[in-house]
Chain A
């Protein structure tokens, strides 16, 4: 017993610098892990108890129902419409996930696709974009091709409005950010500018959605910013969500492009709550969903079971997201905690 302190002293003396370095490294790792856990705990919203109950799964690894679905919209009866990028088609499923119809094939003609992406539904029409072909193709609800809206500008996001009008984000790298509202013939009815810089860039690309009062919400893909505009296009507020000050960019060829996407998608539920899907800067990229009220205050955060590129909530407040890298579409019931 008397010798113990002396033994420790000798062990200490016998340890060379490498051992001390290793122990130091281990201690630093432990402290950093503890600090990280503590900071996550502090930033976690108090009402983080939203859960998702799976009610439907469409497409499996063993069938060819979906190859790589991209865009989604759902009608009031729960029928699901998706674009399937790898199948060059649009597909319509009933509320139980049974395929009702498929339309489209590879090509650039009427009703054909090279890279079908976004789709949105009005009372009478289904609007579909193609990443590599200009314009918006219009189908009826039974997926019959009706016409192509002749729009030359590449489109970032679309949202169907009343009276068969459609709002579209006009993408540009040399003009200020602008949202165009088109009629069915492809004529611009209204322009809403959301940036006022002389020269815009990819950093100004956005997602859009509208609330029930026709207020426009603009979510930046590559900036920590969300904005609300009234029906006349006047900005009501602009605020950050994650307090990320600077986005890292990199040079690809002559172009400065963002390295990561900050926000991927946003959608309203029937109660006017806004759900935002986080990207590469979120703790769980493609899975963290931030829920905001109409003033942009955060109500809650929850996680999707699997990473998704998009988020959709239908008229009955069912949430849809991706699984199996786009081979599967999942439908969930959102369970809010009892207040």
Chain B
């Protein structure tokens, strides 16, 4: 009886470990995927901003930087 109960308990423990691991993995992937989407969207605005400021003819032009910033603000407004 004692041995049998011990085996059942061991089985239960293993099962709980496996279930726990699966749930934690699922939660982690959800969190990572969620952030991934946000990063992708935010990244699009940042990339556009950096590209805009890198415009060779306009480099260093303060007014142009404001135009780029205006585009960045619009991008955040449109996708956020």
Contact = CB atoms under 8 A, between A and B. Distances in A.
Contacts of B70: 131, 154, 156, 171
A257 B72 contact: yes
A14 interface: yes
A250 to B, nearest CB: 8
B41 to A, nearest CB: 10
Interface stretch (A18-26, A159-167, A312-320): A18-26
A221 B73 contact: yes
A22 B27 CA distance: 12
Interface of B: 5, 9-10, 12-13, 16-17, 20, 23-24, 27, 42, 46, 49-50, 53, 62-63, 65-67, 69-74, 76-78, 80
Contacts of B42: 259
Given A14-B9, A22-B24, A280 B73 contact: no
Contacts of B9: 10-11, 14
Given A16-B13, A280-B80, A309-B77, A255 B69 contact: yes
B69 A257 contact: yes
Interface in A255-280: 255, 257-261, 264-265, 279-280
Contacts, number: 96
A67 interface: no
Given A261-B73, A280-B80, A173 B23 contact: no
Contacts of B53: 252-253, 255
Closest 3 CB pairs of A and B: A22-B20, A14-B9, A261-B76
Nearest to A261: B76
26 contacts: A10-B9, A15-B13, A16-B13, A19-B13, A22-B24, A25-B24, A70-B78, A132-B67, A132-B71, A153-B63, A173-B62, A173-B69, A202-B73, A221-B73, A252-B46, A252-B49, A253-B53, A255-B53, A257-B72, A258-B76, A279-B77, A279-B80, A280-B80, A309-B77, A309-B78, A326-B78
B50 to A, nearest CB: 6
Contacts of A259: 42
A14 B63 contact: no
A280 B17 contact: no
Contact of B71 (A16, A131, A255): A131
A225 B9 CA distance: 60
Nearest to A173: B66
Interface string A153-194: 110100000000000000111100000000000000000000
A117 interface: yes
Interface in A105-148: 115, 117, 131-132
Contacts of A210: none
Contacts of A280: 76, 80
Contact of B65 (A15, A19, A173, A250): A173
A261 B77 contact: yes
A205 interface: yes
A14 B12 contact: yes
A184 to B, nearest CB: 24
Given A173-B69, A261-B80, A252 B50 contact: yes
Nearest to B20: A22
Contacts of A252: 46, 49-50, 53, 72
